[in-house]
A and B are shown apart, each in its own frame.
Chain A
Amino acid sequence: MSNERVRVRGVSIYRPFIYGNTATVLTPKERDASQAPDHTHRWTVAVRSAASLPDSDQVGGADDLSYFIKRVTFKLHDTYANPSRNVDKPPFELTETGWGEFEIQIRITFVPESGEKAISFYHHLKLHPWTESGEPEIPPLDVAMKAGPVHAWQYDEIVFHDPYQNFLTLLTQHPPTPMPKTKRKPVPYHLANPASFTTSKGGVPEFNQEMEKEELERLEEARKSVIAEQDKWRAILIEKEKELERLLKEVGGQA
């Protein structure tokens, strides 16, 4: 038992996961039935595994993350009744209705074996459809309803440094389902990649491994162009310096 609580040095182990929300417009009937008639949307905020289940209409969630996550706390806007909502068992998600977007604080508490403190981060609750320009824009409800559910998901990885032996064992007993290698469904839209606006159309999005490759290419492309630019500017600089030298000589020569 004692050597179970030894940290395995030089090892980082991470778990890919996604967080975000899905939002749908309430039908007039649903709105009448609800207690808050001003609420226009039903949304679900969740913390899930990155890979999606086949033939599922939800984003991600192929694996049960409760083997390392003990609790997820969603801290909602203060106008909600008891805004801090704890979810102690999978699925780690919360469904609510509302009319406006706000920042949700998500706090993940790990299982005691991890010996790790909880981590927290924010998710901007997205109700209104993404726009091509990136500018927020609130379309009329009937238009939004036709556009279908809104998805806003962020991929991320939880990294554990030098995990305890028993926690490492626990994690390796649950290898994450790999994301599909290629694009099978639309990709989730992301602000950092405006080009994904078109590829995100048409159904429930799914994360795939190509997205990372695509992003690497994008960054590499940018780096190449920056370096080309840098070379250009260096040539300019060298020219300028030569000119300056000439001028200095001229000034010095005439003095």
Chain B
Amino acid sequence: MAASAADIRSALSIPEANTAAGPSQPKKPTQSNSRKPEGISRELYSLIGPSAPSLAAQLAKPRLKQKPNFGGAAARTKWELRTFRNPARKDGLDLQHWTKAYEDPNAEYQFAKYNIQTTQYTYSQDEYTRFLEDSEWTKEETDYLFSVVQEFDLRWYIIYDRYEYTGGPIRTLEDLKDRYYSVCRKLVRNRPWAGDEASKAQLISSFQFDKDRELTRKKYILSLENRTPDQIAEEEALYVEVKRLEHTERRFKRDRENLLRILAGIDSGLPDVVEDDGGPLGVLADGVGPGISSASTTRKKSTKKGTQSAMEVDTPTTPSVVGTPAVKRPNNAKNAAFDAQHCIIRTETPSTGAATKAAHQPAYLRSYKLPSPKPAIAPKITQALAELGISLTRLVMPTRDTTASLEALLDATTALVETKRVVDRVNQEIGVQKLRLGMRERSVSVDGETKTDGDNAMEVDGPNAADGEGETEGEDGRAQSVMSTRSVKSRKHARRSVSISSVDTTSTRAGPKRQKRG
């Protein structure tokens, strides 16, 4: 009887716990490494030892979730009413809210990070004429659109609601979206980009808008929504009918084939006997509702006319076409490593026929191919780059990457120089207009109306100060800019006299005007 435990062990094929020790010897305290798991009675555990079957372990009484300790004074959170400022507000209004006392009182308002401004795109006249001309839109209306978009923060339904451009055609929501997004796309595409190409492509694709698709989509939805109960019922009836017809036809075909096999054998010369597996209908019947799946009724010669809407619904309803990046030629890592080791660059071979010997590009030094600026603006570019510590004519390491990088830099700088030139031109233009305005006003002010001139003269200084260093273009330009600077002087003079005494302004102001006319 003493061996009963061992017997049971061998019956359960459990290895002997301590074979060395005889059964008569007192058991060593094996409990040290394995405590009795809960849920097993002590007797059973002593019988089967520490290798309790997992089932027994699962007998453990499920523990209840520990009660949350609401009562403890230590765990109680302190709340306090604090004043805070929402950085989205410009007026510095002090608001109050309850916060946990341990929170940092100087922390920024936690919801401030959600106040994200959309990037405002603006464009210059020059950019407009170069990229953004559209026969259906005037620049004024485009400007207006952008101002409305900015005001209502791209909430298109509100924009559409408030859009009121006098003198323009009536615009649909899609017209507005289309114009706005196409302008943004063109601007992003044509401006020098500070980041890498991938992020640029991503940004452009986020401005993707396909007007026609969007219109079609809405039309579909509209017609789908406008079905009468009768039409829906008819559609469903049609669907059931189609299923039934199809089923019958399939059975008929199968029967016919079987019959042919029996009569004429397998090579009966009827190769077109192929069992119809149901085609797209089988797929459609699985998950899509009857209203939509009846689109495939066109395949069947159903005598009843399907509703127009149901026929069109089948097209995908997502209008966005995200541009997929151009598929690159597969190039495995081994080849790349080989090419890198041997300094090989593979390019796409142009498919323009067989290259002749004359077309062969002779060997050259990398530094031969450094980009060069347009001759007309070369000095300005060289100067601008010199300020940045970049030499256009030499590179420390003329490699393919650095050459490309230098070229990108050159492009950006060219754009900058061009912009500055346009600014100069506009400045000049402003000067001329100011002059014209000033002359006219002066002639008015001779008649005793001094007030308006005083107001305008305040704004004269700013832009014309820059005009002095503005580049003059040709004789005409020079003459104009000289005129405008002179006019500034005279006008400054005039203003001063206004501020000193508004009594004898008429005399001083009339003076220079006559001089110029004479």
Contacts and interface: CB of A to CB of B under 8 A. Distances in A.
A190 B433 CA distance: 51
Nearest to B405: A219
Contacts, number: 192
A157 B193 CA distance: 29
A237 B363 contact: no
B397 A11 contact: no
Interface stretch (A54-62, A82-90, A93-101, A114-122): A114-122
A155 interface: yes
Interface of B: 122-127, 191-194, 341-349, 355, 360-367, 384-385, 388-391, 394-399, 401-402, 405-406, 408-409, 412-413, 415-416, 419-420, 422-423, 426-427, 429-430, 433-434, 436-437, 440, 463
Contact of A230 (B192, B349, B389, B434): B192
Given A156-B398, A220-B405, A226-B388, A175 B342 contact: yes
Contact of A238 (B123, B391, B429, B463): B123
Contacts of B363: 110, 114, 116-117, 119, 158-161
B402 A216 contact: yes
A13 B342 contact: yes
B409 A247 contact: no
Contact of A157 (B362, B398, B409, B440): B398
Interface stretch (A26-34, A139-147, A192-200): A192-200
A248 interface: yes
Given A13-B343, A116-B362, A162-B360, A156 B126 contact: no
A237 B408 contact: no
A67 interface: no
Contacts of A238: 122-124
Given A161-B361, A223-B194, A230-B419, A194 B366 contact: no
A156 B440 contact: no
B409 A223 contact: yes
A9 B355 contact: yes
Interface in A47-78: none
Interface of A: 7, 9-16, 110, 114, 116-117, 119, 121, 154-162, 171-172, 175-176, 178, 190-196, 207, 211-212, 215-216, 218-220, 222-230, 233-238, 240-241, 243-244, 247-248, 250-251, 254-255
B430 A240 contact: yes
A202 B284 CA distance: 78
B345 A11 contact: yes
Contacts of A11: 344-347
A248 to B, nearest CB: 6
B395 A237 contact: no
B366 A157 contact: yes
A165 to B, nearest CB: 13
A211 B405 contact: no
A175 to B, nearest CB: 5
Nearest to A223: B409
20 contacts: A10-B348, A12-B345, A16-B343, A117-B362, A119-B362, A155-B396, A159-B363, A190-B396, A195-B389, A212-B399, A215-B397, A223-B412, A226-B384, A227-B192, A227-B416, A230-B191, A234-B124, A234-B127, A237-B426, A254-B437
Given A223-B194, A241-B125, A230 B415 contact: yes
Given A10-B348, A12-B347, A250-B437, A156 B406 contact: no
Nearest to B124: A237
